[in-house]
Structures are given as structure tokens and as C-alpha cells.
Amino acid sequence: MQFEDLDLIPPVLKALKEENYERPTSIQQQAIPLALKRHDILASAQTGTGKTAAFAIPIIQHLAADRAQQQKRKVKALVITPTRELALQIGESFTTYGKHTDLRNTVIFGGVGQKPQTDALKRGVDVLVATPGRLLDLMNQGFVHLRDIKYFVLDEADRMLDMGFIHDIKKIIASLPSKRQSLFFSATMPKNIVALSATILTDPKKVEVTPVSSAAETVQQYIYYTNKAKKRELLKHILTDEDMDQVLLFARTKHGADKIVRDLQKSKVKAAAIHGNKSQTQRQKALNLFKSRELRILVATDIAARGIDIDKLRYVINYDIPNVAETYVHRIGRSGRAGEEGVAISICEPEENAYVKDIERLIKQRLQVMEENPFPQTDRPMTAKEKKEDEKEKQRKRQEFFANRKKRQSTSGSRGPKRNGRR
């Protein structure tokens, strides 16, 4: 199937052709025709399947027809997503696919000054992409009204609930017109997600693509077993492969991500980290440098990496094995996107061996063990130095936990109604 077979308008087809899009992905083939017929959609699709285009293209097509019949520009489409990075990516997609139409979109999110965002809203937009907290803030201030919404998308619903946005989502839904088209996307469908979808959708059509339990078929998966003390040296050994010119590397903690970057920079490897302690400006600068290939390694925590979409990214490295098997699938899905080939490399220390078994059970396959390993894992107990470092790390995590909790309590107590510590 080609995009020309999906009954798309010429301006959209022209934009897709300019981006060298020829064949729609599975979710695009299924969801676009349903959305064009104005059905509500309940979609199970993980990151990397092309789902942004699956909802952006039909919305652009609907709005292009609507614009021909109205003069004043109002917010007609709303996309809610959990993170700043994902919101920015979605905004870029609407700009790309709709560049030959008269449509305008803007993105609003917290962590930065609101004036540029409110100025854009005052000038008038057709599509609003938002994170929940900032949207509610601007609604309360009177900058955003949802009474004209005709198209509503809730993206990454499972992660939204994991991040504590359920009450924010319910407030936003309560402000939407009852007559609208709603599209609901989630990588997983546990009972609480299905229950939430029932409050949003009317007689939805179900679309299911690449369930979270299956890793992308186009990603080759390898694993190195080593000891904790040798992880950094093993990483440097892996990076001697000059083909690995662009690598997204996952760390478990913000502190760990910064530590990896400092170590790589000492070895003259261009690297930067993105995580919750970085400003939005710092994160966006690092992401832009990575996209333009001026940066070889982008080190990210799982939350910060949500929504990162790099065309033709081949390499993902799990420096720390995630303790939730589904997270592994989300991580490696950053490579091998939309049919491209990818390579995922995991570095496993003894304490993470059990996590690997969980991952292999979930994806129903074994990770290929790398035999050429200069720092193989041994069964010896940790040395006194390793134990000391391990205890220091645990103490630091405890201190960070209590400091963050105190900060959240202070923030929620001084900035009005509490919404799970988020605004």
C-alpha cells in the first residue's frame, strides 16, 4: 500500500513525498482510514510504530476542510502528551505534514516562561499540543478555552498515568465538548487504561499494532555480561566501533547519566545528558546537536527520552538494565523505527541478571551474548571498594528521594491546589 491509496488530500501527499514517505506503517494503514471517517479510535501501539502520523494526518485533513468554511482561527484540535520532548516532536510533525496547508499549531509545556506560548495562542492556532500541567495553568488563567475542540488525542496514556497525571486528564476531559472525535493511544492496555478510555471514547474502533511484549523485529539485540566496576571501561571498548556514530544511551538515574557523560568527555567522546534536572533549553540544545550529528552520544533517563524520535537512529545502548521489562522494549524501540534496521546493546552487571531473564520472558527470545568481551562477568562478590561505592550510591538515592519529596510538598503547599505535585 502507498500513501496515495489512503484518500489523502494533495497538500498532505505533497508534504509526505517531500519527506520521502512512500509506504504507510501498519498503524497508519489501519488508523488513518478510520480517523478520516471520523470514528473514535482505541489504539494499542508502542513508540516507533509511526503513530504520530496516524493521528496527525487525519486531523490536518479534517482541519484543512474546516478552515475553508471559517474566518476566525480557533483551537479545534488538542493533543495531550506526557512530556515536553514528545510534545515538541508532535508539534514538529504537525508542522511537517501540514506545511502546504494554512494551518497553525503551537506547543505548550511547563519548565519555561509562558509568554511566548500565550503570545502564539493570542495570534490564533488550529492545533494545540500540550502537557497536562501547563495546559491547566493556562486554562485557569483564561488563555486557553476548549469549547471549540472537535478533535482530541490522548497520546502515551499508560505513561501519563504512571507519571500521576490522572486527575489532570480528568479535569481536561471535563472541559471538552461532548461532541468531538477522540483518538486514544497507549502502548499497554491494563484495566485502568481501558477504564479511562471508556470515559473518553464513543463506540471506538480498535487498532492494535506491535504489542509491548514483542520487540521490534528490525532490531538486533546483543548483551555483554560484565561486573559493575568494569562497566565504564566496557562502554569505551564498545564505542571503539567507528560505525557507532550516533548512539542513544540509557542510564537509570539522573546522577548516573551525568557521571557517564563526564567520563566519556574525559575520553574525548562528544556526549551530553538529558534528564529532569536539566533546563528545557539545555535539553533541547542537546537533542538538536544529536539530531544534527554534532553529538555522538546522547545519555538519557527513561522519562526524559520519552518522545525522542531520531530518523534512522541505529544504535541504542542500555548502560543500566531496566528493572521493568516493558521499559526495555520502549528503549530499544528508539532504533529500528518505521522499518529501519537497528542495534540494541545491553551491559549487564550481576545484580541485573534477574532483570535480563524477565526481559527474555517478555519478548520470548534470548538476547545474543557477546563472546568477544574483554571484561567478562565473574561470580566473585563485590570488593570492599565496590561495596563502599554501592552504599554511597544507595545513600545518595535516599537523600535525593527525601529532598524531592520535601520539594514537592513545599511546591504543592505554596502554589494552589495540589495536582499530584505537577502543574
Domains belonging to the chain, first-starting first, are 3-209 (3.40.50.300), 219-369 (3.40.50.300)
Q: Which among 286, 272, 301, 283 is positioned nearest to 109, based on CA atoms?
A: 283
State the Cα angle at 29 between 155 and 101, rounded to 5°.
70
User: Packing angle between helix 254-266 and helix 231-238, nearest 10 degrees?
Assistant: 60
The better pLDDT of the pair 388, 230 is held by 230
User: For residue range 251-293, what is the model confidence (pLDDT) as tens digits?
Assistant: 988 889 999 999 999 999 999 999 878 877 888 899 889 988 9
What's the pTM? Answer: 0.61
CA 93 to chain centre: 14
Which range, of 50-59, 143-152, 215-224, 238-247, averages the lowest pLDDT?
215-224
Contact assessment for residue 39 and residue 184, using Cβ atoms and an 8 Å cutoff = no
pLDDT of 194 higher than 50 = yes
Residues in the chain: 423
Rounded to whole angstroms, the Cα distance separating 263 from 236 reads 9
Per residue in 376-392, pLDDT (tens digit) is: 988 644 556 657 777 78
**What span, in angstroms and rounded, lies between the C-alpha atoms of 172 and 165?**
11
pLDDT at 420 exceeding the cut of 60: no
**Cα–Cα dist 270/125, whole Å:** 38
Cell 513525498 sits on residue: 17
Choice among 15-24, 216-225, 307-316, 403-412 with the minimum mean pLDDT: 403-412
Q: Are the CB atoms for 234 and 317 separated by under 8 Å?
A: no
Q: What is the pLDDT of residues 354-370, one digit of tens each?
A: 889 988 988 888 999 99
Per-state percent for the chain, helix, strand, coil, to nearest 5: 45, 15, 40
Residue 49 has pLDDT above 50, yes or no: yes
Considering only 177-191, 315-329, 333-347, which range has the smallest mean pLDDT? 333-347
Torsional sign, CA 413, 167, 169, 407: positive
What is the percent of the chain with per-residue pLDDT over 70, rounded to a whole number?
88
Taking only Cα atoms into account, the Rg of the chain, rounded to an integer number of angstroms, comes to: 22
- 406 dihedral zone (left: phi>0; alpha: psi -120 to 50; beta): alpha
Strands 181-186, 205-209: parallel, antiparallel or unpaired by DSSP?
unpaired
At 111, give phi and psi (nearest 5°).
Answer: 90, -5
pLDDT tens figures, 108-140: 999 888 999 999 999 999 999 999 999 999 999
